[in-house]
């Protein structure tokens, strides 16, 4: 971190609940992408999968490329696949889509739990959704539905 301070400007007030700092440069856009947690075994498995990274990178790359083509854009733009889902909805969809794709012989049982039942070191809101309206308006295109992206990712795992 010390060497980085000598070469790039950093935000003065990084998030205190996370172990990272956000780089800030006046003439280039700063991008922070959160795909998962290395401390989470399921996330780590995905993060080390070349197929998962390639598919995930495609969605992110489309948004970043659209931003790069518009140098006049400023401010914070949020991007995520379209639609909303709880972690339970997402886990249930994974079980359904993986079974439908033939990746699982039997459909997994998914049991919902409350946020209080799954404590983490970083405090997180009980319900949070990224507001992508400004990004969609400025970029001129909409993200793909999350369930369609999930299905495509699982199909790519089936082929691999």
Boundaries of every domain in the chain = 1-30, 37-159
Contact 40, 115 (CB under 8 A): no
Whole-number Å distance between alpha carbons of 42 and 60: 21
Q: For the domain with range 37-159, which CATH number is right: 3.40.50.720, 3.40.50.300, 3.30.450.40, 2.40.240.10?
A: 3.40.50.720
Residues 6+ apart with CB under 8 A from 137: none
The model's confidence at residue 30, banded by pLDDT at 50, 70 and 90, is low
The predicted structure's pLDDT at residue 86: 81
Query: Lowest-confidence range among 47-61, 69-83, 90-104, 145-159?
Result: 47-61
Model confidence at 88: pLDDT above 50: yes
Number of other CB atoms surrounding residue 97 within 10 Å? 19
Considering all CA atoms of the chain, what is the largest pairwise distance in Å, rounded to the nearest integer?
54
Identify whether the C-beta of residue 143 lies closer than 8 Å to the C-beta of residue 82: yes
pTM of the model: 0.59
Beta pairing partners, 23: 10
pLDDT of 152 strictly over 60: yes
Q: What contacts 134, CB < 8 A, 6 or more positions away?
A: 75, 77, 78
109-136, pLDDT tens digit by residue? 999 888 778 777 777 666 677 788 888 8
Query: How many angstroms from the chain centroid is the CA of residue 154?
Result: 16
Going along 8-145, which residue ranges are E strands? 9-10, 23-24
Is pLDDT above 50 for 10? Answer: no
The CA-atom distances, in angstroms, between 8 and each of 23, 30, 34 are 7, 11, 21
Terminal Cα distance for the chain, rounded: 38
Average pLDDT over residues 3-9: 41
């Amino acid at each position: 971190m010390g060497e980085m301070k000598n070469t790039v400007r950093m935000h003065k007030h990084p998030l205190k609940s996370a172990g990272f700092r956000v780089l800030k440069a006046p003439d280039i856009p700063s991008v922070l992408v959160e795909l998962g947690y290395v401390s989470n075994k399921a996330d780590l498995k995905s993060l080390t999968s070349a197929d998962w990274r390639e598919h995930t990178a495609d969605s992110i790359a489309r948004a970043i490329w659209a931003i790069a083509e518009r140098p006049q854009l400023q401010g914070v733009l949020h991007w995520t696949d379209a639609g909303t889902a709880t972690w339970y909805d997402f886990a249930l969809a994974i079980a359904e889509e993986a079974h439908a794709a033939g990746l699982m012989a039997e459909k997994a049982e998914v049991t919902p739990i409350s946020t209080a039942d799954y404590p983490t070191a970083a405090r997180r809101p009980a319900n949070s959704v990224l507001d992508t309206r400004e990004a969609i308006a400025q970029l001129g295109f909409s993200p793909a539905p999350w369930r369609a992206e999930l299905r495509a990712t699982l199909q790519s795992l089936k082929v691999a």
